[in-house]
Amino acid sequence: DTGVSQNPRHKITKRGQNVTFRCDPISEHNRLYWYRQTLGQGPEFLTYFQNEAQLEKSRLLSDRFSAERPKGSFSTLEIQRTEQGDSAMYLCASAKVQGGRETQYFGPGTRLLVL
Amino acid sequence: RKEVEQDPGPFNVPEGATVAFNCTYSNSASQSFFWYRQDCRKEPKLLMSVYSSGNEDGRFTAQLNRASQYISLLIRDSKLSDSATYLCVASQRSNDYKLSFGAGTTVTVRA
């Protein structure tokens, strides 16, 4: 499978715990995005990378959230001191700009439940 | 106001019918548009890209109206497998291609 992969697929944690999610993008894609999706809503942008550089963080991303892409390949998203409001699907997408256009391809997501 | 607005539906249609729905966007600088399909508890999957006035792919046709700032999606000869939520997406090169999603339109095709 050469698509975007995410691990774990599901995570249940207690409030106050830290969690980390991983995303492996399509190998030739240099751009990687993180989104959060709650029930009945479309995905909301959180942050993105071009190679290893984190170019933007949404105001949705509080100080408890941090993302890295250390070698420009896989990325991790960490949530510290989780809150019940963090429960959501966390989606990763990868892309490559070609001819002034970009198409994003999504991974299967990590579904987080904070108890 | 959300950047991309969609009629949430649901649109319940019989198999073989034609169904169409619109999406409006507020940022006139939006240049690229996409329709993604999302099945329950799954990730969004790209259905169609729309860069000019429209695009057609088999039973699916997307039309873009820049003057009125809306995009439509039409599904002909609906199949049971077309039942899903359809997400309308806009992006701007000036905003470094970040995607703005609508909340989705739910379509249910019944036998």
pLDDT digit string, tens, across residues A2-52: 699 999 999 999 999 999 999 999 998 999 999 999 999 999 999 999 999
User: What pLDDT is attached to residue A53?
Assistant: 92
Mutate to test the interface with A, among B43, B50, B93, B94 (most CBs of A within 10 A): B43
User: What pLDDT is attached to residue A29?
Assistant: 92
Rounded to whole angstroms, the Cα distance separating B13 from A115 reads 38
The tokens for A24 are 């492996």
Rounded to whole angstroms, the Cα distance separating A111 from A50 reads 25
- Sorted by sequence, the CB contacts under 8 Å of residue A105 that are 6+ apart come out as A3, A4, A26, A29, A93, A94, A95, B46
Check pLDDT > 70 for residue A1.
Answer: no
Check pLDDT > 80 for residue A115.
Answer: yes
Q: Supply the DSSP string of A78-112, one letter for each residue.
A: EESS--GGG-EEEEEEEE-EETTEE--EE---EEE
The beta-carbon neighbor of B43 closest among A31, A91, A102 is A91
The tokens for B25 are 């966007």
Q: Give chain B's mean pLDDT.
A: 93
Chains A and B: how many Cβ contacts under 8 Å? Answer: 56
CA-angle at A105, arms to B62 and A76, nearest 5° = 150
Q: Give chain A's mean pLDDT.
A: 93
Check pLDDT > 90 for residue A59.
Answer: no
Q: Which residues of A touch B97 (CB under 8 A)?
A: 31, 95, 97, 102, 104
The closest alpha carbon to A105, from A29, A37, A45, belongs to: A29
For the stretch B32-89, pLDDT in tens is 999 999 999 899 999 999 988 889 999 999 999 999 999 999 999 999 999 999 999 9
Q: Which residue(s) pair with B20 in the sheet?
A: B74
Burial zone of A26 (CB within 10 Å; 0-12 exposed, 13-18 middle, 19+ buried) = middle
* Total residue count of chain B as it appears in this document: 111
Q: Which residue(s) pair with B36 in the sheet?
A: B46, B87
The beta-carbon neighbor of A103 closest among B41, B49, B103 is B49
Rounded to whole angstroms, the Cα distance separating B5 from B34 reads 14
Which residue of chain B comes nearest to A40, CA vs CA? B103
The beta-carbon neighbor of B46 closest among A56, A105, A111 is A105
B91 contacts A41? CB cut-off 8 A: no
Percent of all residues in chain A with a pLDDT value above 90, rounded to a whole number? 81
Mutate to test the interface with A, among B99, B100, B105, B106 (most CBs of A within 10 A): B99
CB contact residues (below 8 A), chain B span 43-102, against chain A: 43-46, 49, 51, 87, 89, 91, 93, 96-102
B96 contacts A95? CB cut-off 8 A: no
CA distances B9 to A22, B20, B45, B77, Å, are 34, 11, 20, 19
A74 vs B: CB within 8 A: no
- Asked, as a colleague might, if the bond just before A25 is cis with ω within 30 of 0, I would say no
> HEC string of B11-62?
EEEECCCCEEEEEEECCCCCCEEEEEEECCCCCEEEEEEECCCEEEECCEEE
A45 contacts B42? CB cut-off 8 A: no
Strands B44-50, B32-38: pairing kind? antiparallel
